[in-house]
Amino acid sequence: MTNTTTIGVFDSGVGGLTVLKELVKLLPNYSYVYFADTKHCPYGPKGSEEIIRLSEKITKFLIDQGCSTIVVACNTATAAAIDYLRKTFSVPFVGMEPAVKPAALGTKTKSIGVLATKGTFKGRLYRETTSRYAANINICYQVGTGLVELVEQGRSHSDEARELLRSYIKPMLDEKIDHLVLGCTHYPFFIPILKEILPKDIVIENPAPAVARQTARILSEVDAKPLATVKAKPFVKFFSSGETDTLEHLVKEIETTTNIEFKQKSFQHFSF
């Protein structure tokens, strides 16, 4: 492997920024290339073959950019394409793990809610995780129709988002859930609203920190040295297959609401 200090991250759009944020917090000495496929967003309603085709093209682009480890920061792309990507390319891949396991192990009411895309619910990882850890748990499923689009439009804090989330959450509250699993990387942008409308004792399960930890484990293996000794000059290149306005806005929002600074950041358009 010629470059173990550049991590590629891709999503159907801007949702993967919630994963990138956790990666940079945990691994600040690495460089990153982020690709938002906003031209083809959302992935949720698309078929597996199309998602595989798009994911393969993005992976080739990221490898051409010097990425030696790739994080598929999209639940739908992970469900549809990660097995294919691992068979096709020699670089390590990290995908989105459904956070059903911690919810199922932690629930006291034996009832949890899962908010995800249609593609995620159909994926092998989701089916295997639920059958293994939540066989005796009541799971309230909800496809988050319209939520990805709101984030992509920069409207994750809007009244429309609040009302849509209320309509999705109410049936879950009626089922006495005590954990809510966010099964799409776009959904953590709604956490401020979810904290408003959910009872305080309900745990919101965001899988992004666990994905960052798994990436750190993989990197420690391929680098064969402690992560603290990595001396890469940190920077993030952002690419989008569509417009970059929302991407730039949300990156700035992350920087102003956290202690994270995306150093030497640049925004570029790349379509395929």
Residue 115, beta-bridge partner list: 142, 182
CA 150 – CA 154 distance, rounded (Å): 6
Whether residue 67 lies in the annotated active site = no
Q: Which of 41, 67, 140, 184 is catalytic?
A: 184
CA 13 – CA 39 distance, rounded (Å): 8
Torsion 120-215-26-235 (CA) sign: negative
Q: Residue 169 corresponds to which tokens in the numbers above?
A: 């959450």
Q: Which of 41, 67, 74, 140 is catalytic?
A: 74
Helix (H, G, I), strand (E, B) or coil at 208: helix
Whether residue 184 lies in the annotated active site = yes
- Close Cβ partners of 203 (under 8 Å, ≥ 6 residues apart): 103, 106, 178, 179, 180
CA 119 – CA 134 distance, rounded (Å): 19
- Are the CB atoms for 227 and 216 separated by under 8 Å? yes
Active site residues: 74, 184
